Structure 1
Amino acid sequence: MIEPDAPDNTYRPIVLDPADRADAETLRRLTETAGIRTVDLRAGLRAELASLAAPPPGLDPDAERWVYYPWRHSLVAILGPAAFRAIRLDRNRNKLTRDEQRRLAELTIGVVGQSVGHSVAFTLALEASCGRLRLADFDSIELSNLNRVPGGLFDVGVNKSVVTARRIAELDPYLPVEIWTAGVRADTADEFLDGLSLVVEECDSLDIKFAVREAARRRQLPLLMDTSDRGLFDVERYDLEPGRVPFHGLLGETTGAQLAGLETRAKAPHVLRILDPGQLSARMAASLAEIGETVTTWPQLGGEVQLGAAIVTAAVRRIGLGGKLSSGRTRVDLEAALDSLAEPGHVDDDIADIADPVEQPPADPLSAILACAQRAPSGGNAQPWRLRGTARSIEIALDPSGTTAMDVRLRGSAVAVGAALHNARVAAAAHGLLGTPELIVDDPAAPLLALLPLATGTDPDLAAEYPLALNRQTNRRLGTAAPLPGTVLPALRSAAAAEDATVHALTGIDALAAAAELLGASDRVRYLTPQLHTQLYAELRWPGEDLRTGIDVRTLDPAPDELAKLQVGRRTDVMARLREWSAGSALGEFTVDRVRSSSALIAIGFRARAGDGPDLADYARAGAAVERVWLRAQLLGLAVQPVSPVFLYADGCADLRSVSPEFTDTLAGIQRHFHNLLGIPDDENVALVLRLSYAAAASTRSRRLPVPGSRNDG
């Protein structure tokens, strides 16, 4: 029978399922009982549920319960347990993942003593760091307790464990709570600990403290205790050390029986041995001398009690999730921390106000050809070549010393060498020194050697590209997504065809959106693969660093939030967590946003000249096509940005495994879908992927290493 007036020891709400016939009848009687207030939260909770990002699967938004709180004379309508907890605990993520929450929900925790223990139990319930609570205290709330127990005047005279349980019930009516209003005695300690995962001891009686420890040792349970003053916190891992002496051995041979019934004055020596008088705060130590004189009993502050609850809860999480937590003692001293306040380290997020030197092409033709070759694009602005010029020739040798995992079998470096050779030809044509180039594979001096003899020839089409090559740059700004005029793609295909390459293009909002998601997924792999992440940030150059190689962060033209994400993204511990959680989809947002704002995405494809697959010379020829297409696109007013996926130069599973052993299968799937989306035939390879857009001019142009001096010998 439902009683409108609850007895003082009522602490559990009555949860009613309207789909159950008996519960429905009880609910009907309650709604007809005078004096019972009804609160309906269902509509608001359903709106919250609908707004959750990635809610757990299988939730029933129509499942509901009515909860009757006798001590409140109130009836509250809420959602069913699964939906209720999904909403209430959503903001735990990902300080606690859903899997971790499920693991913690398997814990049953006992809390002995409900002064400090009240805050401990409530914080555990607040975070859902347990699935069941057992609370014990024989005492009732007095007004003097309300300096540290977060109750109210209506709780005065009510058993402390009842007060705690009621407060938890009003937070989460589905969390099971059991109370022992007689407290724990030496002869009931084993019974109290029966079925617990761990115990938190916060009582005042020394003999009961000892009895709880002896019982915990018998049952091999972890025991935690917070003592508030200077954040004193103790851990006794009887689960790991069954023979461990209680109180870390600080009481010597003293037994629980010897501590029973002691007067406050007689307890003092034992208490001080536990607390270590030399480590007490000055205020606590001075107060101890005044107990029974000018102060009634041990002083405790509400803030220190709340801190203790946070410490205990953090320790419970560690134990429950299998983290490291050894036996011992520590202090989390806020007063000391406040004494050591210091100015925070300055984070320099101003990357704009750096003057760039004005680069003029050299006056003499040989140096001008070398300088133009040096301006060619390369992955990560690595400039993976060694340039040498003589009166007879230009040599561009592939330098493998800076190879990254993405540069599979030096294919990306070969593309860069090919682009540099094209620039050298352009400059040579403009200066009337053009000869016939040659590509040599597996030369003893380099894996790939590009030779450009200097003669007396020219080529008007190549010469016309000279100013374009000197001013070519990457533009990573967001585009307008304006469609390309019909003449653009034919012009780019014509430029590629001059080097026996092809252009595969994507246009249109839907196609670009699909490509953006695939390229974003590729970027996620780049961040979450340790070697790729390390190499990514090794490429970036920040203010004050040498900007002549690598990617000057200013050339990213990042928005303030993107710059902040880039700074956070360098942390390997953050990437490890995201990898552990199978998360990190936002890591690709920079690329996703830019591809979605594009007018087109193109891939420059090519076929091997021999039947055994492309060699480095084939990739170099494709690199020349890349540079021709890039220059033609800029001539047509387009902003150009390479958006190389990490799988770009991988041909087969073995190559993908060398790029990212952790995500080989993931990359294989992304690569397959990407090639299908662009219509790249199986017998073609891709030299580079370029994003084309109409965008504001880039704020910064990447710099280059100085060009080596030319030689007049030979």
Structure 2
Amino acid sequence: MLGEADLGVEYRPLILNPADPDDERALAGLRSTPHIEFNDLRGLLAAEFGRLNDPPETTEGPADDRWVYYPWRRSVLVLPGPQTFRAVRLDRNRYKLTRAEQDRLRTLTVGVVGQSVGHGIAYTLAQEGACGALRLADYDELELSNLNRVPATLFDIGVNKAIVTARRIAELDPYIPVDVRGGGLDAYSVDEFFEELHIVVEECDSLDIKLLVREAARRRRLPLIMETSDRGLLDVERFDLEPDRPPFHGLLGDVAADQLRDLSTRDKAPYVVGLLGAHDLSARMAGSLVEVGETLNSWPQLGGDVVLGAASVATAVRRIGLGRPLRSGRVRLDIDQALDTLTDPDLDTDGPSADIEADPAPATPLERILECAQRAPSGGNIQPWTLHTTGYEIHITLDPRYTTALDIGYRGSAVAVGAALYNARVAAAACDRLGPYELIEATDPPLTAILRPGTGTDPVLAADYPAALSRETNRRIGHGGRIPDSVLSGLAAAAAAEGAQLRAVIDSAALRAMAEVLAESDRVRYLTPQLHSEMFAEMRRPGDDLTDGIDTRSLELAADERAALQIGRRADVMAQLHSWSAGAALGDYARDRVRSSSAVVAVTFRPEPGVRGGGLTDYANAGAAVQRVWIQAQRSGLAVQPMSPVFLFSQTRTELDALSPAYADRLSTLQGRFLEILEVPEQESVALVLRLSYAAAASVRSKRRPVPGGELRG
């Protein structure tokens, strides 16, 4: 049987490895000692490890398990090794702290002087894994009056405060080395306390020790942090960056530590007021200082203020430890004052739609032609054209003011112009005003579609007129279901009627593969700053001008998707996800919709000979095919949603590099996979991708900018 002296110290657990003969003998002694409890936690912790998403790789196995004896508890816990233990204990830190950041913080040794406020700080640092080792100092023993702010218990009364803190940390994580200086600090011990420290936190009551600690920190060029539990006062003194900086920011002048020793409460008052600032103290704290020595034994501190202080100090330690900017100075994190500024939160305006007032019906043939052209689809509903009449002609002119980074070389705009021209032809046929048309590709403007109304008609085109006006984007989740071969043939025939081809994905495995490609493309769009900015610039909420852009109600968002969109708007969050190489969930919206689809189809075309990838007239002609396929799909009872992968209009690696420098390699891989799934031959280019599904009707149709007036001659 072992004696108490053999079983560890009063604040540090004894960590035993049964493979070591000495440790095995100590463990045998513990087993034979009466009233020592054994508790094996390995099974529970292994199960937790198995439930982790993205668990880290460890080099540990059963040989790394440890038996940890807590002498003050007379208990032994059996635990996995430190890597596995910390992987589970600190997993919920991610991604507020990444694993790499936790590894970096684990190299820090932090000293905490004073274990009333300091107890909460030291424990918080250990709890967060914000340091690798702690050194604690306090000469005082815990009293009942300390329990208003020290998270200890009645069983700790009479125990040195630093030991109380160390025991509590050991019961949280026995693998954190904690060193205790139960005699506190003085001029003879302060330098030894500072050896191998990286940061010091000062939370003692004695003014002379406060100054003594700062003088030592300045000699050793260590950063010092202090929290004062009144209005969240936090002081940072970066002696590591400013070794000549005066202690206390110079608030006490040139006073020496021996001048502050053994002062009475009355004599301390000028220094305390000088440090805290008479005008900045809370009224209750200032009034309490008047009562110290009269109706109060000492100044008051509240547990909530101490907890707030622990959080602010831990945040400062993380900043210093991770090399993030933190200057010397003072700040107040006044919760009580902040509560005076409560405001109503912003309401979610992306919810279910309300009825949208219908536009007045056009009266003249020209108005019907222009209105139908304006109803054509375009990426982000930006309507990248201007409509105007010149004598005997209707011009649909590509307007570069409305383009975005995704619209590489105006190719997406050209598709939209082609769709608008098709709609104009359809309306002209329905009004018996059909005539010839042409596409003119130039420099300024890049592309112009011209329709010269005449007196002709075309029953096939005219039949599309009502459908062109009612065409809509439907982003609802689909119900699945196979599309009949006859419907797919009809879609292919619609594309062929405008000189294009249709490539379709209908197999469930191929649809799942396509879902992953399009989801990853969306992730890249979110994480590329310019693309992210432009994406949300296109979105419109109720109350905005809805005549262009995407009405957020048309996104058909479920409650969780609306919440995700609110987070997705934030550029700072996207930058953080980019830095972590994370954000897979950013593609969930596309992933879920494609997986629920019946098909994904691409309208493709073969460019004119000698024009690699196709010119703008090629894309415009394919735009007419896109519109014709879309109308045919809706006529067949299908819901249609265009899908615009980031790489859609890219023809070269140089264009991908310009589009998203950080993700060009990824986009190149995705583009190759996309074309492979669709089985698009090398000699064909893709004009647009449509998701087809069986779904309920869309709740909102996008509006359009007003069309110009005018009069046609002839």
Q: Confirm or deny a common fold (TM above 0.5).
A: yes
> 1:353: how far off?
4.8
Q: Which amino acid aligns with 1:584?
A: G
- Rounded to whole Å, the distance in 1 between the matches of 2:39 and 2:342 is 49
- Rounded to whole Å, the distance in 1 between the matches of 2:26 and 2:423 is 86
Question: Which 10-residue stretch deviates more, 58-67 or 609-618?
Answer: 58-67
Equivalent position SS for 1:71: coil
> 1:414: how far off?
0.5
Q: 2:415: which partner in 1?
A: 415
- Rounded to whole Å, the distance in 2 between the matches of 1:298 and 1:363 is 82
Shift in CA distance, 137/26, structure 1 to aligned 2, threshold 3 Å: same
- Rounded to whole Å, the distance in 2 between the matches of 1:322 and 1:419 is 54
Q: What's the % identity of the aligned pairs?
A: 58
Shift in CA distance, 710/20, structure 1 to aligned 2, threshold 3 Å: farther
Q: Say whether the 8 Å CA contact 2:8–2:71 is kept in structure 1.
A: no
Matches within 5 A, 1:65-104: 65-104=66-105
Matches within 5 A, 1:307-322: 307-322=308-323
> 1:397: how far off?
1.5
> 1:330: how far off?
2.1
Q: Which amino acid aligns with 2:446?
A: P
Shift in CA distance, 158/482, structure 1 to aligned 2, threshold 3 Å: same
Q: 1:584: which partner in 2?
A: 583
Q: Say whether the 8 Å CA contact 1:598–1:693 is kept in structure 2.
A: yes
Q: Which amino acid aligns with 1:667?
A: L
- Rounded to whole Å, the distance in 2 between the matches of 1:143 and 1:435 is 96
Equivalent position SS for 2:72: helix
- Rounded to whole Å, the distance in 2 between the matches of 1:711 and 1:27 is 100
Shift in CA distance, 448/573, structure 1 to aligned 2, threshold 3 Å: same
Matches within 5 A, 1:60-139: 60=60, 62=62, 63-139=64-140
Q: Which amino acid aligns with 1:189?
A: V
Q: 1:170: which partner in 2?
A: 171
* 1:526-548 Cα deviation digits (max 9, x unpaired): 11111111111111111111111
Q: Say whether the 8 Å CA contact 1:361–1:371 is kept in structure 2.
A: no
Question: Which 10-residue stretch deviates more, 412-421 or 255-264?
Answer: 255-264
1:280 equivalent to 2:281? Answer yes
1:510 equivalent to 2:509? Answer yes
Q: 2:231: which partner in 1?
A: 230
Question: Which 10-residue stretch deviates more, 55-64 or 171-180?
Answer: 55-64
Q: 1:690: which partner in 2?
A: 690
- Rounded to whole Å, the distance in 2 between the matches of 1:698 and 1:179 is 67
Question: Which 10-residue stretch deviates more, 658-667 or 220-229?
Answer: 658-667
Shift in CA distance, 204/390, structure 1 to aligned 2, threshold 3 Å: closer
Equivalent position SS for 2:534: helix
Matches within 5 A, 1:351-370: 351-359=351-359, 361-370=361-370
Shift in CA distance, 84/657, structure 1 to aligned 2, threshold 3 Å: same
> 1:200: how far off?
0.8
- Rounded to whole Å, the distance in 1 between the matches of 2:645 and 2:429 is 34
- Rounded to whole Å, the distance in 2 between the matches of 1:618 and 1:3 is 91
Shift in CA distance, 382/287, structure 1 to aligned 2, threshold 3 Å: closer
Matches within 5 A, 1:253-652: 253-338=254-339, 340-349=340-349, 351-359=351-359, 361-389=361-389, 392-442=392-442, 446-613=445-612, 614-652=614-652
> 1:153: how far off?
1.7
> 1:34: how far off?
2.2
Q: Which amino acid aligns with 1:43?
A: G
> 1:361: how far off?
4.5
Question: Which 10-residue stretch deviates more, 593-602 or 431-440?
Answer: 431-440
Q: Say whether the 8 Å CA contact 1:6–1:70 is kept in structure 2.
A: no
Shift in CA distance, 696/258, structure 1 to aligned 2, threshold 3 Å: same
1:220 equivalent to 2:225? Answer no
Equivalent position SS for 1:251: coil
* 1:531-579 Cα deviation digits (max 9, x unpaired): 1111111111111111111111111111122122222222221122112
Q: 1:147: which partner in 2?
A: 148
Q: Say whether the 8 Å CA contact 1:186–1:212 is kept in structure 2.
A: no
Equivalent position SS for 2:485: coil
Q: Say whether the 8 Å CA contact 1:609–1:618 is kept in structure 2.
A: yes
- Rounded to whole Å, the distance in 2 between the matches of 1:310 and 1:204 is 20
Equivalent position SS for 2:125: helix
Shift in CA distance, 371/265, structure 1 to aligned 2, threshold 3 Å: closer
Q: Say whether the 8 Å CA contact 2:218–2:239 is kept in structure 1.
A: yes
> 1:293: how far off?
3.1
Question: Which 10-residue stretch deviates more, 118-127 or 485-494?
Answer: 485-494
> 1:117: how far off?
1.1
> 1:61: how far off?
6.7
Shift in CA distance, 341/452, structure 1 to aligned 2, threshold 3 Å: closer
- Rounded to whole Å, the distance in 1 between the matches of 2:331 and 2:266 is 27
* 1:622-657 Cα deviation digits (max 9, x unpaired): 111111111111111110000110110000111112
> 1:610: how far off?
2.1
* 1:385-431 Cα deviation digits (max 9, x unpaired): 12234673332221111110000000001001111111112222222
Equivalent position SS for 1:647: coil
Q: Say whether the 8 Å CA contact 2:349–2:541 is kept in structure 1.
A: no
Question: Which 10-residue stretch deviates more, 289-298 or 214-223?
Answer: 289-298
Equivalent position SS for 2:226: strand
Q: Which amino acid aligns with 1:86?
A: A
> 1:350: how far off?
5.7
Q: 1:665: which partner in 2?
A: 665
Equivalent position SS for 2:446: strand
List gaps (5 residues or longer) in structure 2: none
Q: Say whether the 8 Å CA contact 2:207–2:261 is kept in structure 1.
A: yes
Equivalent position SS for 1:640: strand
> 1:266: how far off?
3.1
Question: Which 10-residue stretch deviates more, 63-72 or 191-200?
Answer: 63-72
Q: Which amino acid aligns with 2:232?
A: G
- Rounded to whole Å, the distance in 1 between the matches of 2:6 and 2:120 is 24
Shift in CA distance, 373/197, structure 1 to aligned 2, threshold 3 Å: same
- Rounded to whole Å, the distance in 1 between the matches of 2:160 and 2:549 is 68
> 1:490: how far off?
1.9
* Number of positions where the alignment pairs a residue of Structure 1 with one of Structure 2: 712
> 1:324: how far off?
2.2
Q: Say whether the 8 Å CA contact 1:111–1:136 is kept in structure 2.
A: yes
- Rounded to whole Å, the distance in 2 between the matches of 1:152 and 1:443 is 80
* 1:202-239 Cα deviation digits (max 9, x unpaired): 12222221111111111000111122122222211111
Q: Which amino acid aligns with 2:254?
A: E
> 1:105: how far off?
1.1
* 1:674-706 Cα deviation digits (max 9, x unpaired): 111211112211000100000010001111112
- Rounded to whole Å, the distance in 2 between the matches of 1:375 and 1:291 is 78
Q: Say whether the 8 Å CA contact 2:349–2:542 is kept in structure 1.
A: no
Shift in CA distance, 138/466, structure 1 to aligned 2, threshold 3 Å: same
- Rounded to whole Å, the distance in 2 between the matches of 1:597 and 1:19 is 56
Q: 2:15: which partner in 1?
A: 15
- Rounded to whole Å, the distance in 1 between the matches of 2:129 and 2:561 is 34
List gaps (5 residues or longer) in structure 1: none
1:243 equivalent to 2:244? Answer yes
- Rounded to whole Å, the distance in 2 between the matches of 1:59 and 1:596 is 39
* 1:488-533 Cα deviation digits (max 9, x unpaired): 2222111111122111111222211111111111111111111111
Equivalent position SS for 2:231: helix
- Rounded to whole Å, the distance in 1 between the matches of 2:389 and 2:268 is 91
Q: Which amino acid aligns with 1:532?
A: L
* 1:437-474 Cα deviation digits (max 9, x unpaired): 21111175x21111222223222222221221111111
Q: Say whether the 8 Å CA contact 2:350–2:553 is kept in structure 1.
A: no
Equivalent position SS for 1:72: coil
> 1:621: how far off?
0.7
Q: Say whether the 8 Å CA contact 2:8–2:14 is kept in structure 1.
A: no
Q: 1:39: which partner in 2?
A: 39
